[in-house]
């Protein structure tokens, strides 16, 4: 039979063990709480980063250099599908201007020679000579879009005649300046591009977002070398551009920048005869 003293000592040991277990459980709860708070804090920081990055990416000044961005359309192909044609990669972006969905170039891409197109407008024909050697991806896209009638009966939505930028911008069937063909392709620049009178170049909303919008330079323009130079306007086309430029714009994007005062429509884009 244990004595009273032994029973008291056993009880004290049990109590000590219970207290130790309680302290262990308390430490574990505190540790788990700390981990949970840390994880939430990390997620909050990461979330804030992506929110800030998203806002920064969406920030653009439409009154400055030629730019384009796409708006969603239910008729567009799902985003992320990629077509690789020769040296070019075309990626569908889940958007298409004015519900017009088209197929990007496929098969062999010409990397030499010149693609001659006639851009017929309500002011007259503008001849385009596209350089397939220096800008094969853009030239092939022009050819594919022209063959599918993408440019037919579409507006040139912007005319700019400031001291440093003199361009007519076209290529968005919706006429808002936010539309594209439902795919994008890499910007092809070397960093030494200039934009003198007669240049044909691709508009974009950042490197790698070339689509269908392009601009025709009717006066020497100062721009960073961020825009694919795809070709040249012929002399007869420059005379047409001069007529369009003389009509001015409505200033809707600021002084000297807006929609052409006299609407400009591409009636057809076809191979030159």
Residue-wise pLDDT for 130-168, tens only, equals 999 999 999 999 999 999 999 999 999 999 999 999 999
Nearest-angstrom CA–CA distance, 51 and 216? 36
Maximum separation of any 2 CA atoms in the chain, in Å: 120
Q: Does domain 82-271 have CATH number 1.20.1600.10?
A: no
Residue 53 confidence (pLDDT) above 80: no
What is the mean predicted confidence (pLDDT) over 112-134?
A: 98
Instruction: Give the count of beta carbons closer than 10 Å to the beta carbon of residue 82.
Output: 10
In a 10 Å sphere around its CB, with 0-12 CB exposed, 13-18 middle and 19+ buried, how is residue 125 labelled? middle
Domain boundaries, the chain: 1-59, 82-271
Query: 38-47, 98-107, 117-126: lowest mean pLDDT where?
Result: 38-47
Which DSSP state fits 114?
E
Residue 28 confidence (pLDDT) above 90: no
Nearest-angstrom CA–CA distance, 180 and 68? 8
- Higher-scoring residue by pLDDT: 29, 87: 87
Residue 182 confidence (pLDDT) above 70: yes
Cβ atoms of 200 and 234 closer than 8 Å: no
List the structure tokens of 39. Answer: 């994880």
Please report which confidence band the pLDDT of residue 34 belongs to, taking 50, 70 and 90 as the band edges: very low
Please report the pLDDT score of residue 149 as a whole number. Answer: 94
List the structure tokens of 219. Answer: 């006066």
Which tens digits make up the pLDDT trace of 219-262?
Answer: 999 999 999 999 999 999 999 999 999 999 999 999 999 999 99
């Amino acid at each position: 039979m244990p004595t009273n003293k032994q029973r008291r000592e056993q009880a004290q040991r049990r109590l000590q063990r219970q207290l130790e277990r309680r302290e262990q459980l308390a430490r574990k709860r505190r540790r788990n709480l700390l981990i949970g708070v840390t994880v939430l804090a990390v997620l909050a920081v990461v979330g804030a980063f992506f929110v800030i990055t998203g806002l920064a990416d969406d920030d653009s000044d439409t009154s400055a250099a030629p730019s384009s961005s796409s708006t969603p359309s239910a008729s567009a192909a799902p985003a992320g599908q990629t077509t690789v044609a020769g040296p070019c990669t075309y990626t569908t972006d889940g958007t298409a201007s004015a519900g017009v969905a088209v197929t990007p170039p496929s098969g062999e891409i010409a990397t030499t020679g010149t693609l001659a197109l006639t851009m017929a407008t309500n002011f007259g024909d503008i001849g385009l000579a596209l350089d397939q050697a220096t800008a094969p991806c853009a030239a092939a896209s022009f050819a594919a879009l022209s063959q599918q009638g993408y440019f037919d009966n579409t507006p040139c939505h912007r005319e700019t005649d400031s001291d440093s930028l003199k361009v007519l911008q076209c290529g968005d069937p919706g006429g808002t300046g936010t539309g594209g063909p439902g795919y994008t392709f890499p910007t092809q620049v070397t960093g030494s591009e200039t934009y003198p009178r007669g240049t044909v170049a691709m508009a974009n909303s950042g490197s790698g977002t070339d689509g269908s919008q392009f601009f025709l330079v009717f006066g020497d323009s100062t721009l960073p070398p961020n825009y694919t130079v795809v070709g040249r306007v012929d002399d007869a086309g420059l005379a047409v551009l001069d007529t369009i430029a003389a009509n001015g714009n409505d200033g809707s994007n600021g002084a000297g920048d807006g929609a052409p005062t006299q609407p400009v429509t591409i009636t057809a884009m076809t191979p030159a005869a």
